[in-house]
Structure 1
Amino acid sequence: MNIIHVIVLAIIEGLTEFLPVSSTGHMIIASSVMGIAANDFVKLFTIAIQLGAILSVIVLYWKRFFQTLDFYFKLLVAFIPAAVFGLLFSKKIDELLESALTVGITLFIGGIILLFVDKWFNQPAVKEEKAVDYPTAFKIGLFQCLAMIPGTSRSAATIVGGMAQKLSRKAAAEFSFFLAVPTMFAATAKKLYDFYKEGHTFTGDEIKLLAIGNAIAFIVALLAIKTFITFLEKRGFKLFGWYRILVGGVIIILYMTGHNLEII
């Protein structure tokens, strides 16, 4: 992995982590095009740069993170289903993560769903994220479990889950952003723990690459979140649906024609 790889992957992470398009699918295509070898550090890097994306949420919404304990309890309630599901089915999830075809199919099907989401959930009753109650937070957390199927997109699953609970598009998106913080932090912590448990340590160059990657992911995610909220309020999900269908179709075609697509 060189500095160009780091910059490209960090930009992809910042752009796609909070959009309903699956960062995994984009990482597959980018890594395949650039010929990045899927070694242990590369696999860790793609997870660890989520910390930069997490920080962008905290910076943009810092007032929400320093108000009431109720805010944190709701996030905890929403986080629990994915934490339990992940622990119970970790081996099966790891198996799915090795399948590029699964990612392509899930992206494609998810894209079709996004074409109709705005029509299905067009009468929101909850206009602000602050109005989300505990039962609703838990149900959104159940939707987040779907994101453990590679290609689903954590953002797509939780935003659609929120809209299914009568949240407005903006409220659902903001709750999804907030829920990403404990979820992505836990995923990064586990990946780091496994990395060290297997006897690996970071070289000076690897630390530098992680720092650069997180910085770029942070800046790009800041711009992506602000732009996404504005676009979502005005235009909805249809464009993202068509985009997912296109990306999923590309992955399926590449896989079926014998191209080596590695999950990094």
Structure 2
Amino acid sequence: MTWLHTLILSVIEGLTEFLPVSSTGHMALAGAFMGIDKNAFTKLFIENIQFGTILSVVVVYWRKFIDFKSWHFYLKLILALIPSAVVGLLLKSYIDNALQTPLMIAFTMFGGGFVLLFVDKWFLNPTIHSEEEIPYKKAWMIGVYQILSVVLPGLSRSASTIIGGMQQKLTRKAAAEFSFFLGVPTLAGAFVVSFWDAYKKTPELLTHHNLMLLAAGNFIGFVVAIFAIKGFIAYLTKHGFKFFGYYRIIFGFIIIVLLLLHVHVDF
């Protein structure tokens, strides 16, 4: 990987991590187009660049995360994290294999797009407008929805949790923000596991140069994600999900066409 590759992948991560469009799928496709998808460090980079976007959520919503008197907030995140964490640990081998299946990613992107076209009409008359109003049971159920993104790579963690929140009577804004909050412990856990695995199994990848690329990538992703979060909330509140639905359908269709043309796309 070069510094240019790092810049491109980091911007993609920052823009897409919290949008309902699958950041991993976008970075994998970008890596294939740049010819670096077979590079062992590329996969490690994609798995560990999420740390910067985690910090972006903490910075944007810093008042929420440093209010240690509000222990209910942290308890809700723990409850919502448990379902996907347990399933992720139990099905790790399946998930690793599924991530290597481009056709599955394509169809998941395609199908998820059709869901987003209609989701605004399915969940009307929300009653919960902020995180403080979310009962523990509903926080848990949003965590159950997050399982879908674990077992169906390409679905998007953001899409599954936002839809789960709306199904639990949260407004679009409240569902999106709780999805962001839940992303902090979820992505932090994934980062720790991935980096530790690399340290134990492939320490040769953690050269000074590669660590510098990873640090730069996380910083770039952090900065870009701050703007993406604010822009997404403003757009979602006003316009809903239809644009993202069409986008996912087009993206999934492109992957299918590339596969039919025998273009190698390694996820």
TM bucket by the smaller chain?
over 0.9
Shift of 1:8: 0.4
* Structure 2 counterparts to residues 1-264 of structure 1, below 5 A: 1-67=1-67, 68-148=70-150, 149-201=152-204, 202-263=206-267
| Displacement after TM superposition at 1:38 (Å) | 2.9
CA positional deviation for 1:213 = 0.2
Between the two proteins, what is the percent identity of the paired residues? 52
Q: Normalization by structure 2: what TM-score?
A: 0.96
Residues 38-70 of structure 1: CA distance to partner in whole angstroms, max 9, x if unpaired? 333221111211010000000000010112111
SS at match of 2:263: coil
User: RMSD value over aligned CA atoms?
Assistant: 0.9
> Is the contact made by 2:24 and 2:46 (CA closer than 8 Å) also made in structure 1?
no
The one-letter amino acid paired with 1:89 is L
Query: Residue type of the partner of 1:54?
Result: I
Separation in 1, partners of 2:196, 2:167 = 35
Q: Which amino acid aligns with 1:157?
A: S
> How many corresponding residue pairs?
263
Q: Specify every segment of 5 or more residues in structure 1 that has no aligned partner in the other structure, as ranges.
A: none
TM-score, normalised to structure 1, is 0.98
CA deviations on 1:120-140 (whole Å, 9 max, x unpaired) are 012101011221111001100
- Asked if the contact 2:108/2:153 (under 8 Å) is kept, the reply is yes
Q: Give the distance between the partners of 2:61 and 2:38, measured in 1 at CA.
A: 35
Q: Secondary structure at the match of 2:111?
A: helix
Q: Which runs of 5+ in 2 are unaligned?
A: none
Q: Is the 8 A contact 1:25 1:247 kept in 2?
A: no
